[in-house]
Amino acid sequence: MYNNIKTRQSRFSHGSRSGGRSRGNFGGKKTSSVNPNLYVNRAKDQIAHEEVIIKHKFTDFGLDQQIVDRVLRRGYETPTTVQDQAIPLAMAGRDVIGSADTGSGKTAAFVLPLLHKMVRDRNQKALIIVPTRELAVQIDDEIRLFSAGLGINTATIIGGAGFGNQLRMLQRRPQFVIGTPGRLKDHLNRKTLRIGDFSNLVLDEADRMVEMGFIDDIRTIVSMLPAHRQSLFFSATIMPEVRGLINSFMKDPASVSVKTRDTSENVDQDVVKFTDAYSKFTSLNDMLADEAFKKVLIFGRTKHGVEKLNDALLERGFKTVSIHGNKSQPQRQRALQDFKQDRATIMIATDVAARGLDIPNVSHVINYDAPDSYQDYIHRIGRTGRANNKGIALTFVSHY
């Protein structure tokens, strides 16, 4: 169990240092089906037992020099393992299925080859389908950084944002359209989006889209694309049902798998035991008051529970923001930017923040409500321990 929790709980009967003895229920009683033993794992020192050989530099891929210049200006010279293996295949025109640990650079692995195509041929267009609004915006930001000054237009087509602005983006005939399945289908039904000339398709985190019930929408959207196209699929996990989906619309795909583990070896994982809602909340309150908890991402199960916990921590003087499905897209983006730029030190979220988001320097991930599945757990804790930094993941477990 997490170090010093028992010692700290001896003080709980006196209330937290940040507030009184409120016994509000800040955590649901629904239990997870995941074995709590899977939440305990010591972080390892730098991985010396497995030497990964990178065969290329970014200058070796044959990318247009304008793109290479922008990559180098961002401080990147050597690709990650998934980039090293996937970019040459994508540059050769192959369909690619890529599986890699979270935080491994999958976005650049598909963005850079597509940008190369578009710089050489302005008629090239790409449709990128993702499960969440936040991931769509993050990919759009990455494209803009790598394509600055190249005349490449993008359109982010997501729920929670007004149709008017999206229509204006689409009228600019963007080379990249990045969107969530539901809103993409809305535009297709309204005939405000025509994808018959999009010769490139990317599915990012398709397993999450299947879990969210978007499989029929994805099939409908893909059926409207040209038969002759390049399809790229990247995800941290590829479940059997997802593999069946992607194999149905890919042609002789090349597989790239650089996953070496289920969870990051840079993440120290442990549990925090609690007996009731009061001990659970006061344990959290006491931990967050510790200076070691510098930048914390807390996951809750429900939108209502996340907002209630956010309000309770704000009352106790913590700098918090929240993200969940009841927030408008501008509210969600503002909260994410506040957390990324350290205007807030704590972000409380549902699983909309568990996939694909690249948030620098998260010191702790706290599963205030245990995840519903082990795959969800993998994605949640992948928000810390990134870029060879050490991170800590703590999961609250009921102990009656």
In 3D, which of 114, 51, 105 has the Cα closest to residue 82?
Answer: 105
E-strand ranges in 216-305 read 230-235, 254-257, 267-274, 296-299
Residues in the chain: 400
Q: DSSP for 133-152?
A: HHHHHHHHHHHHHHHTTTT-
Distant-in-sequence, close-in-space partners of 157: CB < 8 Å, separation ≥ 6: 136, 166, 169, 170, 177, 178, 179, 180, 183, 184, 187, 193
Cα 328 versus chain centre, distance: 19
Q: What predicted TM-score, i.e. pTM, was given to this entire model? A: 0.72
In 3D, which of 121, 125, 396, 99 has the Cα closest to residue 243?
Answer: 99
More confident of the two residues 376 and 177: 177
Does 122 have pLDDT greater than 60?
A: yes
Q: Domains of the chain (ranges plus CATH)?
A: 5-46+262-398 (3.40.50.300), 58-257 (3.40.50.300)
Burial class (CB in 10 A: 0-12, 13-18, 19+), 356: buried
In 3D, which of 116, 350, 110 has the Cα closest to residue 235?
Answer: 110
Q: What band does 264 get if pLDDT is binned at 50, 70 and 90?
A: low
Q: Which two tokens stand for residue 156?
A: 């982010």
Token pair 């790598």 in the structure block, residue: 146
Query: What does the DSSP 8-state code read for residue 41?
Result: B
Q: What band does 10 get if pLDDT is binned at 50, 70 and 90?
A: very low
| pLDDT value, residue 136 | 92
Calculate mean pLDDT across residues 173-197.
Answer: 95
Does 15 have pLDDT greater than 70?
A: no
Q: Which two tokens stand for residue 141?
A: 């930001």
Calculate mean pLDDT across residues 122-128.
Answer: 96
| pLDDT value, residue 333 | 85
Q: Express each pLDDT in 277-327 by its tens digit.
A: 999 999 999 999 999 999 999 999 999 999 999 999 999 999 999 999 888
Q: Are 12 and 282 contacting, i.e. CB atoms less than 8 angstroms apart?
A: yes
